[in-house]
Amino acid sequence: MTEHLASFPYLSCMLLSPVVGLFILLFLKEHQRLAIRMVSLVAAGISFGLSIYTFVSYDKALGGLQFVEKYQWVKAFGITYFVGVEGMNAPLLLLTGIVIFTGVLTMWELQERVKEYFIFQLALVTGVFGVFMSYDMFFFFLFYEIAVVPMYILILIWGSTRKIYAAMKLTLYLMAGSGLIIPGILLLYSSSGLFTFNMLQLHAVQFSPWVQKLTFVLMYLGFGVLAGVWPFHTWSPVGHVAAPTAVSMLHAGVLMKLGSFAILRVAMYLCPQGFQYWAQFMGLLAATGIVYGVFVGLAQTDLKYVIGYSSVSHMGIVGLGLATGTVDGLNGAVFQMFAHGVMTALFFSAVGYIYDRTHTRDIHELGGFSKIMPVASAFFITAALCGAGVPGMASFWAELLVLIAAVKVFPIRGLFAIASLVIGALFALRVVQNTFFNEPNPKFTHFEDVSPFLGLPRMILIGFLIFFGLFPQVMVSMIKSSIVPFIQGM
């Protein structure tokens, strides 16, 4: 892959902006709430702006790795700070920017321990940005762990509904995943004989087949835990439910993509033969997850559980796309990571608004919210329709690409995935009907609708969903510019 050095350290700025914000927050006092919020918003806003900038100004014709920054860190171990942007991570950086920016706005009304909350949230997002832009396995893993740890605290302190159980479960699960990843990384590091963590250099090495097979499955399972691969998904609905709104947004919207992105970027990239060996297995788990997620979601009554299981199903689509190993499938998978991230963020942000007021998420207790808060309802309904795969929204295209590619590679699994779309529609509409239609529950009629300011983050999310729904080529050509060489290199 060709590397084009950056004229200005855009990526480091994107990465450091939350860190700087975090340090400024340390010096503020708890009661200076407006200042705390503004600092967080500006820090997130800078990253968001830079992520849009890199997405827009990435030169697709030139291709390769752009905005590259490389600084040697520990020479003895071959560790370098090596970041860059290409077609497949630009959408995910953009996604992270969108979700953190809207997440800060969504949590504007937070009253409890505001300062600490934003500190941890900014720490979390630093890790996420770092993972998506790193091309050095050491930093990749370092950022990966940075992203996971604040999650524990965020859920434990600001969460709800069995938060201690959920936080513990999530952390143990992800640590178990890391326990599989580290041996994988070390195996590649030691068997390459190059003493480098640089992924591009490791890619050039032809590892022996058994190393590839072993490493791939270790990494697939390890990262798969975070990606919500069936049957290692049960931490995710529980975690979504317990987490506060913006953390759910980041968690389902971005964190789960870390796992699937890492499978693509590290496992498939470095162990192509391992991937060929395990592809059928990946396809099987993914298709099972797709069908399983919708059926379990159908039986849930807590709004956040419903969304949690829809995530399991939608992340199954990502997994299925990855398992095909074709250009269409991978395009669709990366597109789906982006689309699902924005969509879930919208979902949680809409649910969060309602929950903050009603303090219930039971769909039997809610009802008639279209009458009480039409705008907030419109946000949720849009997300639900997007989840049901209605065209005109970004996720339709992603699913289309994945499903067409999947039928070619695994016809039966592909057909099951297509068939589950009916249940997906039933599932989404059931929630919409129970929550937003019918007669309003008199207990809740006094609540006010979303103010324009609080509506803003949701509008941004919807705007991105519809923009990429109408102009999918913007996204697909971007992703394709790096997927085509990626497949050729495999």
Phi/psi of residue 198, nearest 5 degrees: -65, 120
Residue 444 Cβ vs other proteins, minimum distance, rounded to whole Å: 14
Residue 13 Cβ vs other proteins, minimum distance, rounded to whole Å: 31
User: Could you list the residues that contact other proteins (CB under 8 A)?
Assistant: 169, 172-173, 231, 233-234, 292, 295-296, 298-300, 326-328, 331-332, 368, 370-371, 378, 385, 390-392, 396-397, 400-401, 403-405, 407-408, 411, 414-415, 418-419, 421-423, 425-426, 429-430, 433, 436-440, 471-474, 476-477, 480, 484
Nearer CB in complex with other proteins: 119/462: 462
Identify whether the C-beta of residue 301 lies closer than 8 Å to the C-beta of residue 365.
no
Contacts for 2 with CB less than 8 Å, ≥ 6 apart: 62, 63, 64, 65
Q: Which helix (H) or strand (E) holds 446?
A: none
Nearer CB in complex with other proteins: 77/471: 471
Tokens of residue 243, six digits: 């987490």
**Residue 230 CB-density burial (10 A; 0-12 exposed, 13-18 middle, 19+ buried):** buried
Residue 122 Cβ vs other proteins, minimum distance, rounded to whole Å: 31
For the beta carbon of residue 431, count every other beta carbon within 10 angstroms: 26
Tokens of residue 337, six digits: 């990571």
Nearer CB in complex with other proteins: 5/172: 172
Tokens of residue 216, six digits: 């791939």
Contacts for 157 with CB less than 8 Å, ≥ 6 apart: 113, 116, 117
Coil, strand or helix at 205: coil
Identify whether the C-beta of residue 333 lies closer than 8 Å to the C-beta of residue 322.
yes
Tokens of residue 45, six digits: 């806003």
Identify whether the C-beta of residue 105 lies closer than 8 Å to the C-beta of residue 41.
yes
Nearer CB in complex with other proteins: 246/381: 381
Q: Which helix (H) or strand (E) holds 117?
A: helix 114-133
Residue 441 Cβ vs other proteins, minimum distance, rounded to whole Å: 12
Tokens of residue 390, six digits: 């209605």
Which among 353, 259, 232, 253 has a CA at the least distance from the CA of 307? 253
Residue 307 Cβ vs other proteins, minimum distance, rounded to whole Å: 15
Residue 298 Cβ vs other proteins, minimum distance, rounded to whole Å: 4
Residue 459 Cβ vs other proteins, minimum distance, rounded to whole Å: 9
DSSP 354-415: HHHHH---BTTT---HHHH-HHHHHHHHHHHHHHTT-TTSHHHHHHHHHHHHHHHH-HHHHH
Nearer CB in complex with other proteins: 89/370: 370
Residue 21 Cβ vs other proteins, minimum distance, rounded to whole Å: 32
Identify whether the C-beta of residue 377 lies closer than 8 Å to the C-beta of residue 323.
no
Q: Which helix (H) or strand (E) holds 271?
A: none
DSSP 137-157: HHHHHHHHHHHHHHHHHHHHH
CA Rg value for the chain: 21
Residue 468 Cβ vs other proteins, minimum distance, rounded to whole Å: 11
Tokens of residue 247, six digits: 């953390």
Residue 175 Cβ vs other proteins, minimum distance, rounded to whole Å: 12
Nearer CB in complex with other proteins: 134/377: 377
Nearer CB in complex with other proteins: 234/360: 234
Nearer CB in complex with other proteins: 205/484: 484
Identify whether the C-beta of residue 44 lies closer than 8 Å to the C-beta of residue 121.
no
Nearer CB in complex with other proteins: 28/156: 156
Residue 322 Cβ vs other proteins, minimum distance, rounded to whole Å: 15
Nearer CB in complex with other proteins: 41/330: 330
Nearer CB in complex with other proteins: 35/490: 490
Angstrom distance (rounded) from CA 226 to CA 233: 8
Nearer CB in complex with other proteins: 5/474: 474
Residue 403 Cβ vs other proteins, minimum distance, rounded to whole Å: 7
